[in-house]
Copies of this chain bind each other. A is one copy, B any other.
Amino acid sequence: MKKSENFSEWYAEIVEVAGLTDKRYPIKGMNVWTPYGWKLMRLVDDLVRLEMEETGHSEVCFPLLISEDQFAKEAEHIKGFGDEVYWVTRAGGDDLEVKLLLRPTSETAMYPIFALWVRSHADLPLKTFQLVNTFRYDTKQTRAFIRVREIHFFEAHTCHANFEDAEKQIVEDIEIMKRLAKKLCLSFLILKRPEWDKFPGAFYSLAADSLMPSGRTMQIGTIHQYKDNFSKPYDIKYEDENGDHKYVNQTTYGMSERLVGALVGVHGDDLGLILPPDVAPYQIVIVPILAKGIQEKVISECKKLETELKNAGFRVILDLRDVRPGSKYFDWEIKGVPLRMELGQRDMDKKVVTFARRDTGQKMEVDRGDLISKINETLLTIAENLLDRARNLLKENTFSAQSIEEVKEAFGIVKVGWCGEESCGQEMEESTEMTMLGTPVEKEEFKGKCVMCQKPTDMVVYMSRTY
């Protein structure tokens, strides 16, 4: 199956062929993380953890189960999630007196405890995060990493003394998203979702949308300003310097295994995955080129190379399987290893190794003496190239439209004028079968008309088909 011909089928196939997941688990929307996929996910998690640590967030781990009464405290929230939660009603032989639900997200698990943790202004800001499994009984078509019912989830939750401090947190979150996306070689838009599409209970919601080659966007991160919408029902108060008791202002930041879905969809090609060097489970595969009589010398040299590269901090695998090099190339191309190193007698005689870049296929000979610096340089170049491609994908598929007809016909992302009225917005979505992604956070100059009511407006909104 070729990516260029049928993205959707290519995606469905490559995630299994490359060993990222096994979709044969007998419950819909719940897949098995196979070793290669789980290693990739964990490397992505490590990048997230690093960002969290450097910005002063503490990692916690809250229980999975939430009691119905805690869940029901914030009205909008239960309205938004009530229809997609899994309910535990029995345990052992007993019917539970209070039903428990599997967290779809952890506000209602955390906030009763935050109310105990936050006492005074000295406890603020409270910056926490966790990496956990969450559950949503989503009735739409499932798709590995993109739409599943057990979700590997990242969620940061913060409490602040006032709205302004919470706003600063959101600025920090956007910076984190930018740094993280750069390491993942992903390009994205940060948009403020329209009122009717914000997180249930939020004051406003921002989202990071990435464009997939199918022309649909995928939400890969969300950042929410809660203001005091949750701190009031959950009674999260602090005593300020003057002895007054005030409600905290809260934010959250969510990401998920969708990041893996984006890596697969955005970077891959007809040959398989192409993984960014920062998260590739193996950054380098060493393939010995063997001929009769020279096996042992070459293999021992390959082992030496493997050790040398591991000691230099690279993630390396030496492929000693008893199959031909061509077949090894094929397998590792599918798995998206950014750099292949070949070593045969001829290379040894010349004191070189041969590299092949996964992203371009380009081959090059490198002097053994320059090895480490050349690898570092090449991995960096690969990352830059992947990022460039992702940026181009987004840029080349973002269009401006003047009429609703133009919007309907567009592939990718469309920018149009909007008067700001919900009625016009909803009509835009219905008539195009697209989603209004929202307005750009970094204000864009615009002068035009609302594509529905034709009123003059300076507000531009982004629309697209979505995952």
Residues of A with Cβ closer than 8 Å to B?
22, 24-27, 30-35, 38-39, 42, 58-67, 70, 83-94, 100, 102, 109, 112-113, 116-117, 128, 133, 135, 137, 139, 150, 152
Q: Are B65 and A88 in contact (CB under 8 A)?
A: no
Task: Let me know if A91 and B100 touch, CB within 8 A.
Answer: no
Q: Among B59, B63, B84, B92, which residue has its beta carbon within 8 angstroms of that of A32?
A: B63
Q: Which chain B residue has the least Cβ–Cβ distance from A109?
A: B25
A128 to B112, CA, bound (A): 37
A88 engages B87 (CB within 8 Å):
yes
Q: Is the CB of A89 within 8 A of B90?
A: yes
Judge whether B88 and A150 touch: CB under 8 Å. Answer: no
Inter-chain contact B88/A60, CB cutoff 8 Å: no
Q: Are A113 and B60 in contact (CB under 8 A)?
A: no
Question: A92 near B85 (CB under 8 angstroms)?
Answer: yes
Chain copies in the assembly? Answer: 2
Is A58 within 8 A of B35, CB to CB? yes
In the complex, the chain B residue whose C-beta lies closest to that of A69 is B26
User: Roughly how many angstroms separate A70 CA and B39 CA in the complex, as a whole number?
Assistant: 27
Q: Give Cα A89 to B113, complex, Å.
A: 28
Complex Cα spacing A183 to B369, Å: 39
Which residues of B have CB within 8 Å of A70? 26
List residues of chain B with CB within 8 A of the CB of A86: 65, 88, 90-91, 100
What are 7 A-B pairs with beta-carbon distances under 8 A? A39-B59, A61-B152, A65-B86, A83-B93, A84-B91, A86-B100, A92-B137
Contact B31 A63 (CB under 8 A): yes
Which residue of B has the minimal Cβ distance to A30? B63
Q: Which residue in B67, B91, B116 is a CB contact (below 8 Å) of A87? A: B91
CB < 8 Å neighbour of A35 from B34, B60, B64, B139: B60
- Who on chain B is nearest to A35 by CB? B58
Q: Nearest Cβ in chain B — how far from A116, in angstroms?
A: 6
A85-B91, A88-B102, A92-B83 known; A65+B35 contact, CB < 8 A: no
